[in-house]
A = this chain, B = another copy of it.
Amino acid sequence: MVGAVIVKKGKIVSEGYHRCVGEDHAEQAALKKAGRKAAGATLFVNLEPCCHTGRTGPCTDAIIKAEIKRVVYSVKDPNPQVNGKGAKILKRAGVIVESGLLKKEALLLNDSYFGYHKNKRPYIILKTAQTLDGKIATITGDSNWISGPQSLKLAHRLRAEVDAVVVGMGTVRKDNPALTVRLAKGENPYRIVLSGSLDFPPRCRLLDNNSDYKTIVASTAKAIEKFSRTKRGRHSLIYWNLRTDDDGLPDLHDFVTKADAFGFRSLLVEGGGRVATSFLRAGLVDKYIAIIAPLLLGSGVCAVGDIAVRRLTDAISFDRYSFQKNGTDNLFIGYPKKTA
């Protein structure tokens, strides 16, 4: 998410933003709108201008050609193809270059992009919808719907922003989710079922509604071998054979490696509790989103299971976090501290 503003003599000449992959970068969009007026102006942008030809030409060329006098960007682009080279090219061409403006906000805005480049693996977002007392379902498994309508929309928007959504078999069996984007605009993500046992329910949207071939089954070699020989298992699914961990379950680090190799840059773990707990325990959650509904269930299914915390000082805490109103619910967004 990049936006650019061109300013001259204290007045905004034009604005532009990067609409989607393949479209003009923010700088190009703003420059096109400004036309001749760009000459001698300052361009503000929240990411270092690119210097490589991708689906669009280098922004540095366009900036120099438009005779922009000064460029102020927020953060260096961590993409190895840029990573300071954009700024260097501009400086060499005589453009005044400054950086660091609203850096914190810029890092937050594209947390997933920066996280992907920093960790060199897909950025992992964990999302739960829980009650005030930390439950994601009643003791009988009832969970539709804990969160309010605005939070459901948010959940769909989150799906539209990631490459793939991950669920465990518990969720598949209980909720039979489609994992598509319906209450928001955007493309449907890939759908990954991550489970040691492939005991799909008789009617299963992830298997039956797979006309876009985006359902991925990530499991152990043994389980996949068996399931792929069944009638439904032969049906256009993508299989990821995962190594097993010490408990004989699919290894999460291997899962992330496979997701990376597949080209995924972001994953949204939607639950249920067991999958969420595994990712937390493995230290693989980059962003934690909890929708908190104003309800008390008492006994029920916990949002987070055993993550090996014994003392309060071992609790998972957060580098940055916020609580905010979201319709009838409250929304917690936090970045777990890395203890590695």
Contacts and interface: CB of A to CB of B under 8 A. Distances in A.
Interface stretch (A73-81, A133-141, A194-202, A216-224): A133-141
Interface string A283-316: 0000010101011111110111111111110111
Contacts of A303: 133-134
A306 B298 contact: yes
Contacts of A311: 138, 140, 142
A252 to B, nearest CB: 16
Number of copies: 2
A236 to B, nearest CB: 36
A288 B307 CA distance: 28
Interface in A209-268: none
Nearest to A295: B315
Contacts of A288: 296
B308 A280 contact: no
Interface of A: 130-135, 138-140, 142-146, 277, 280-281, 288, 290, 292, 294-300, 302-312, 314-318, 321, 323, 325, 330, 332, 334, 336
Q: Which 5 A-B pairs have the closest CB atoms?
A: A134-B134, A298-B307, A296-B316, A323-B330, A133-B134
